[in-house]
Amino acid sequence: MTIIAVFNQKGGVGKTTTTANLAAAMARNGLTPLAIDLDPQAHLTAMSGLKPKVERTVYSFFQQHTPLSELVTQLPNQVNLIPSHMELAKVDMLLSQNRRDLRRLKKAMQLEMLSAAGTPVLIDCCPMLGVLSLSALIAADVVLVPVTAEYLAMNGALQLDQTLNGLTSKGLHRPRKVFINRYQRGQITSEHVATELTRRYGRDFCRTRVFESQSVMEGSGKNLDVFSYAPDSESAEDFSYLLDELVENRFIRTAC
Ligand SMILES: Nc1ncnc2c1ncn2[C@@H]1O[C@H](COP(=O)(O)OP(=O)(O)OP(=O)(O)O)[C@@H](O)[C@H]1O
Ligand SMILES: [Mg+2]
């Protein structure tokens, strides 16, 4: 059972891109991943080419207690998706940050056995730390943190460290794995950020670097993951390596 929350409190660092492409990498390796779009911006949903009615989205789980399993849509690339809707923003305002509300997602996933053997779950978080993101962090077995090769994205990762330390003090330790996204070899900022992340995170920093890539951008514009859009691209290789590294680290406990 592996639930991965993809999170960084900094916006635009590649959380959605990572969720989409890592899930696609899993599907190509014979896993049947479930991706949950837990962001009211609903970018993962849009990137998947879906425009669901609000009652068919994760909003309905939080507001109407609809079972998560009833909200799953299978995408052409064999990734299962629970989509989002902009109405989800209300959940962050309406639900409190009490223990019961924050554990609802985790509990439902356990009860519905959504992450039973062979089904890794990826949760695409929004960049704010509210009920939604905290619910994802509590539900997660591991937190995957994309950091773009720029200084402000490192600050977002630092803020996340504080959040995770807070959870640890409540007996909710969540291991994290940080990786660099939009890396450009030889570019001074990219090299500085990579050096700093290595120093700061040591073994929690992935050796895999996801490079800045035209294929990633173009593919998302056509509602395609990089394996479907450019299967021979370096980006497809990057996301395959990222998956391999997570498997190697036993964050994904299914052989592939
Ligand atoms: N490796 C990459 N190469 C090129 N473009 C990338 C790469 N990763 C992400 N992008 C682009 O960066 C932009 C932001 O990415 P994305 O939406 O995945 O970030 P995010 O962290 O999910 O943002 P938000 O915080 O708003 O949810 C998108 O236009 C995406 O196509
Ligand atoms: Mg996003």
Of 251 and 175, the structure prediction assigns the larger pLDDT to 175
Q: Contact 5/160 with Cβ under 8 angstroms?
A: no
Please list the residues that pair with 36 across neighbouring strands. Answer: 82, 123
Sorted by where each begins, the domain ranges of the chain are 3-248
Q: Contact 184/45 with Cβ under 8 angstroms?
A: no
- Closest among 116, 190, 133, 142 to 22, alpha carbons compared: 142
Q: Contact 14/132 with Cβ under 8 angstroms?
A: no
State if residue 233 touches ligand 1 by the CB under 6 angstroms criterion: no
- Show the tokens assigned to 179: 């990786």
State if residue 2 touches ligand 1 by the CB under 6 angstroms criterion: no
> How far does residue 12's CA lie from ligand 1's centre (Å)?
5
> How far does residue 14's CA lie from ligand 1's centre (Å)?
4
Question: So what's the pLDDT on residue 153?
Answer: 84
Exposed, middle or buried, 99 (CB in 10 Å: 0-12/13-18/19+)?
exposed
Atom of ligand 1 nearest to the CA of 146: 21
Percent of the chain with pLDDT over 70: 97
CATH number of 3-248: 3.40.50.300
Atom of ligand 1 nearest to the CA of 182: 1
Residue 160 backbone phi and psi in degrees, to 5: -65, -40
Q: Contact 131/102 with Cβ under 8 angstroms?
A: yes
Q: Which residues contact 168 (CB under 8 A, 6 or more apart)?
A: 174
- Closest among 109, 111, 140 to 124, alpha carbons compared: 140
Q: How far apart are CA 210 and CA 212, in angstroms?
A: 7
> How far does residue 190's CA lie from ligand 1's centre (Å)?
16
**Residue with CA closest to ligand 1 atom 14:** 12
> How far does residue 170's CA lie from ligand 1's centre (Å)?
32
* Sign, Cα dihedral of 233, 234, 237, 242: negative
Amino acid at 144: L
Question: So what's the pLDDT on residue 98?
Answer: 83
The yes-or-no verdict on residue 16 having pLDDT over 90 is: yes
Q: Contact 244/215 with Cβ under 8 angstroms?
A: no
76-129 pLDDT per residue, tens = 999 999 999 999 999 988 887 788 889 999 999 999 887 676 689 999 999 999
Question: So what's the pLDDT on residue 254?
Answer: 57
**Residue with CA closest to ligand 1 atom 29:** 217
- Please choose from 8, 13, 17, 44 the residue to mutate so as to test ligand 1's pocket, defined by most ligand atoms within 8 A of CB: 17
State if residue 39 touches ligand 1 by the CB under 6 angstroms criterion: yes
42-60 pLDDT per residue, tens = 999 999 999 999 999 999 9
Kindly indicate the confidence band of residue 166, based on its pLDDT and cuts at 50, 70 and 90.
very high
State if residue 24 touches ligand 1 by the CB under 6 angstroms criterion: no
* Sign, Cα dihedral of 203, 208, 213, 218: negative
> How far does residue 13's CA lie from ligand 1's centre (Å)?
6
Residues counted in the chain: 256
Q: How far apart are CA 223 and CA 127, in angstroms?
A: 22
